[in-house]
Structure formats: C-alpha cells, structure tokens
Amino acid sequence: MPLVMTMDVRNVNIAVVDLDHSTTSNRIISHIEASEYLSLVGTTEQYIVAMDALENGTVDIIVQIPNNFERDMIVSTPEKINITANAVNATKGSLGSQYLVQTIARALQELKNEKSPTQLSELVTVQNRFNPTLNYRHYMIPALMIILFILICGFLPALSIVGEKESGTIEQINVTPVSRMTFILSKLIPYWLIGLFVLTIAMIVARVVYGLYPVGSIGLIYFGAACFILTISGFSLTIANFSETMQQTMFVMFFFVMIFMLMSGLLTPIDSMPNWAQKFTGILPPRYFVEILRSVYLKGSTFMDLWHNYLALGIFATIFNILAALTYKKQA
C-alpha cells in the first residue's frame, strides 16, 4: 500500500525546445537526463511540436531555452527560460516544475563554478527535520495503520452484532442468562486483539520493508492504539444499537468513516484546511491518534508532549462507551 499511495512525483516527461544549441543548453539537457525524477522525451527546435506532444499527453513539461541564451548570460541579462507545464494533475505539474527549476539552477551553478571556482558556497541550505529525505511513505505509513484500525475495530464489531440481529440469533442469546455486557465484550475482545495484532504486523512490515521504525517509545504507540480502539469500537457499537440491518450500519458507518478519512489529517494536513474545518477536526477522534502516531513514529515525542491527545482519546472513549451502554436496550 505505501508503495502505491505516494505523493512523490516521478517520471515527469520533459521536452526541451533548444533554440540556443550552446554548452549551457547541452549542460541543462544532460542534467535533466540524469535526474531521477525527470525523464527526457526529446529535444526539438519548434515550440509548436513540443506543444502538440504536451496536448497528446506524451510530455508533461516543456522547457524552452531562448536563442543566444549563453551569450546573453555572459554579457547581460539573458532572456528568461520558459517552462510550460501540464497542470491537469496539479501535484505533478507544480512539483515537476519545481524539480525542473532546481535541476536547471544546479546546472547553471555548476557551469558558473567551473568558470570561477572560488565561489563555491551555496546561498541557501535546506534541512528537513524528522523526515530528512521528505519521504512521503514515512508520512503515509502511520496513516494507513489508522485506516486499518478504523476498518477492523470500527466496522467489524458493529457488523457482527447487527448480523446477529438480522439472523435472529440475538433473540436466542437474550433469553439465556448470559448478560448483555458479556455478550458485547465477547463481540469486541476478538477485534481488539486482532487490531493490536495487526498493528504489530504493520509495525514489523514498516520496519522490514520500508525501514521505518518509531523514534519514540513503542509503549506509547500501543497505549494510543488501545485508547483509539476503545473509542472507535464504542462508536461503532452505538451505531449498531441504532440499526436493524447490516445495510443501515454500513451506510451510517461509511458516512462517518469518509469524514474521518478526509478530515482527520490522514491524507492531507489539517494545517492546510480552512479555519472552520480545522476547528471541526477537534471532534474527530482519529485526528488525535494520527497526531500521536506520527509524532511518536517520526519525531520521537514523549508522553508529556502528547498528553492532551491521550486525554482527548480517553474522553471520547468514555463518552462513546457510555453512550453505547445507554442506547443498548436490555429489553426492546
């Protein structure tokens, strides 16, 4: 999954319209060829040809190097290099052009350094903390773990209880002296165990396959997971209590799960949401677990840094489970 769910842009197809035919333009082209993210489709002298290819979709970005670029660069300010990007896929368009700009800048810098090797210093340095290579997978893996939790501990217990309602077996159980609490717990405990087991497997896979291991304490992760499991299973139980059929449960769960997935910062950062939406995420339990998991995994945060998230999950777990107990009618 993390291999597929990635925002890293690769294989950006580039066409170069080289009107200059100089050492500089050749250097730029060879840099593009060498780049791991960009792939050179071809060079041409006619912009219109490249534009056709862009429209056909065989090319994502066109680079036009103006005539006499090299000469003008030495004597005065040259005409600017023109980059045309297909932005139907906005991510690919914007990230691709950024990669391209960096590649061209590096090529020009290299040429400059060759001519006057004294100026070696770079002006800007960027240091990415906690995820130094900006690997999108490291951002996604904790999110995928949470999605698994939502599915296993959110959907399945609700479906299994409503399934008994549908088949009528719940009636037969209800006339036995088995208490409701025992019945509910017997429905939940297997999924709690499965949830923690899946978390363990997911952490092992993340370590072995993707080389990602938590910087912080594993205990904190399990503690957060336990709080989250209680929350989400209490939530699903409440929904199961209100529904008569599997279909009802599915539709209601889907409604909430969609909101959870899209608004809890699983896929897109909460900070980039509009202000009202950021406030709204406060009532979404997964939001807190997302923060816990990412901080512990990538930053190595401690309990003192995250205690308010645990508190929030604890409050949600209490509310939902009390609600579930109240709505669970002992007798219809």
CB of 330 to another protein, least distance (A): 8
11 in contact with another protein (CB under 8 A)? no
327 in contact with another protein (CB under 8 A)? no
Angle at 130 between CA 140 and CA 139, to 5 degrees: 5
Q: Are strands 61-65 and 82-85 parallel, antiparallel or unpaired?
A: antiparallel
Tokens of 223: 């503690």
Candidate segments 29-37, 162-170, 264-272, 299-307, binder of another protein by CB under 8 A: 162-170
3 in contact with another protein (CB under 8 A)? no
CB of 171 to another protein, least distance (A): 5
Contact 234, 320 (CB under 8 A): yes
Nearest to 293 by CA among 218, 235, 183, 201: 218
| Half-sphere exposure at residue 51, Cβ-oriented, CA atoms within 13 angstroms | 5
Distances (CA, A) of 170 to 21, 99, 120, 173: 80, 60, 77, 5
Which string of x and - marks every residue 176-205 that binds another protein (by CB under 8 A)? xxx---------------------------
Among 173, 181, 209, 215, the residue binding another protein under the rule CB under 8 A is 173
Candidate segments 38-46, 128-136, 173-181, 312-320, binder of another protein by CB under 8 A: 173-181
Q: How far apart are CA 77 and CA 325, in angstroms?
A: 75
132 in contact with another protein (CB under 8 A)? no
Candidate segments 52-60, 89-97, 134-142, 164-172, binder of another protein by CB under 8 A: 164-172
CB of 159 to another protein, least distance (A): 15
Candidate segments 29-37, 170-178, 190-198, 301-309, binder of another protein by CB under 8 A: 170-178
Q: Can you list the positions of beta strands (E) in the chain?
A: 12-18, 38-44, 61-65, 82-85
Among 23, 46, 91, 167, the residue binding another protein under the rule CB under 8 A is 167
332 in contact with another protein (CB under 8 A)? yes
Chain centre distance of CA 114? 41
Contact 206, 213 (CB under 8 A): yes
Contact 237, 329 (CB under 8 A): no
Q: How far apart are CA 102 and CA 126, in angstroms?
A: 13
Applying CB under 8 A, what is the total number of residues that bind another protein?
13
CB of 163 to another protein, least distance (A): 11
Q: How far apart are CA 287 and CA 224, in angstroms?
A: 12
Candidate segments 50-58, 150-158, 175-183, 196-204, binder of another protein by CB under 8 A: 175-183
Candidate segments 163-171, 214-222, 237-245, 277-285, binder of another protein by CB under 8 A: 163-171
118 in contact with another protein (CB under 8 A)? no
Closer to another protein at the Cβ: 88 or 332? Answer: 332
The label of the residue with tokens 């999110």 reads: 143
Interface positions with another protein (CB under 8 A): 167-169, 171-178, 331-332
